[in-house]
Structure 1
């Protein structure tokens, strides 16, 4: 049986509930947008149910630490091929075990979950360091990103704490949604007909005049403080991989 669900974590948890309820083991679990139709495979489309999802989450919380529960969500956000089946096996193992399984790295799924969480945490850390806000004409500080993993919602606590007195907006141009802070709370937003300039950066047409000047000053400062003879490209790329250069004004 192939279980198909919408693109939501609650939808995935609903699938877990229905697998146990129907007692039909999955051949695969996939998001609707990733499903490849087959003439021979039996499939079942699962309708997201908040109550069912909540029951599964409550059961998981009884078996794992808070860190472990967050790890499941982070793994799901990785969007890696086969991640749903791996998480199903991980959750099944946790539910049937009489002890906490989070450090049982002899199990291949436990080990894989740990490794994926490390990748997600590394991506979050890099987004904290490399996101560059630009002031728009309406006073909102905006930034665009296109991370390897779907981590934009996981950035909210850091930036809300760091820029609590400013309105800001971070948009994932790869997944076409973002988060907006209005000085009181962070909400998810999706833009219709969004238009960006090169490298999917915020259009210069909406930037405040002082922002354009600041960008020029920053480039001049970076150039003036760089010592060409002491450049260590290998070390530089280790700490600032090329795929993150798109966020940095000095690299544009």
Structure 2
């Protein structure tokens, strides 16, 4: 098979877009490709590039091919690494796919390969953020009966926390909204849907917690929880350094017991 080298691809930033880029590289016999997210690419007037048109059919063929050659654990690592949204990870994901397809089954555990190692390390960071979101998110109840939480995670972990919150809060409608990425996941007692909200038009929810119209009982519950937390907090045993190690300050905004607290 004849390959040509040193190609530049620009994709739309979606998972299917990345997989489509992998498909196109094989179809066009481009061996070495520099992959760019469209928001990061700066066109060079002297260099050509390929605008990758996302094709779900092509993307699914690539994903099914990867699933045949890598373990379920490494499939999760691959997707989780993509959700990190880090600039360099897209190239590693692209190179990883080529590495896997060009070698026999079993090479997904070869951490001596740069792309394999990078994806494993990035996946670990994303899953750490996932677990912290699951542990630290606190819902508040609005006056329309919706339980909501505004979050701002380092990585795009909402797709990874759906199962946890759907199972844990199956009897109440809830919304978790990512302020940074401008979308949320909404559970309507039947299923979870991805939503985008225009906060300027939404009366029950606004960007700031302080502007949200809360249920009348919410303030009482908040006070009771703070009182309980204060009563169980033994002054003589307070260890701020250890506390911050387990609960980093950037997560305090999600915790009811931290509101107005010096802890």
Flag whether TM exceeds 0.5 (same fold): yes
What is the TM-score of this pair, normalised by structure 2? 0.89
Partner Cα distance (2:88, 2:48) in 1 = 18
Which of 233, 256, 259 is the aligned partner of 1:249? 256
Would you say 1:83 and 2:92 are equivalent positions? Answer: no
Q: What are the residue-to-residue correspondences of 1:50-65 with 2, within 5 Å? A: 50-65=56-71
Match in the other structure for 2:235 = 228
Would you say 1:196 and 2:196 are equivalent positions? Answer: no
Match in the other structure for 2:215 = 208
Match in the other structure for 2:3 = none
For the 8 Å contact 1:142–1:169, the answer to whether it is kept is yes
More helix by share: 1
Q: What are the residue-to-residue correspondences of 1:110-125 with 2, within 5 Å? A: 110-125=116-131
For the 8 Å contact 2:199–2:207, the answer to whether it is kept is no
Would you say 1:237 and 2:244 are equivalent positions? Answer: yes
Partner Cα distance (1:20, 1:207) in 2 = 54
Partner Cα distance (1:196, 1:232) in 2 = 33
Which of 68, 76, 81 is the aligned partner of 2:74? 68
Match in the other structure for 1:150 = 156
SS at match of 2:10: strand
SS at match of 1:206: coil
Q: What are the residue-to-residue correspondences of 1:131-142 with 2, within 5 Å? A: 131-142=137-148
Q: Deviations over 1:179-232 (max 9, x none)?
A: 0011111110011245322xxxx3443211111221122222222221222111
Match in the other structure for 1:159 = 165
SS at match of 2:63: helix
Match in the other structure for 1:219 = 226
For the 8 Å contact 1:7–1:31, the answer to whether it is kept is yes
State how many pairs are aligned.
Answer: 248
Partner Cα distance (1:10, 1:108) in 2 = 23
For the 8 Å contact 2:70–2:105, the answer to whether it is kept is no
Partner Cα distance (1:102, 1:237) in 2 = 36
SS at match of 2:74: helix
Give the superposition deviation at 1:80.
1.1
Q: Deviations over 1:26-83 (max 9, x none)?
A: 5421222222333333222111111111111111111111221121111111011211
Which blocks of at least 5 consecutive residues in structure 2 are unaligned? 1-6, 201-205
- Flag the 1:24–1:235 CA change in 2: closer, same or farther, 3 A: same
What is the TM-score of this pair, normalised by structure 1? 0.93
For the 8 Å contact 1:64–1:102, the answer to whether it is kept is yes
Which of 7, 15, 22 is the aligned partner of 2:21? 15
Which of 178, 181, 184 is the aligned partner of 1:178? 184
Which blocks of at least 5 consecutive residues in structure 1 are unaligned? none
SS at match of 2:78: helix
Give the superposition deviation at 1:173.
0.3
Give the superposition deviation at 1:94.
0.9
Match in the other structure for 2:203 = none
Q: Once superposed, what is the RMSD of the aligned Cα atoms?
A: 1.5
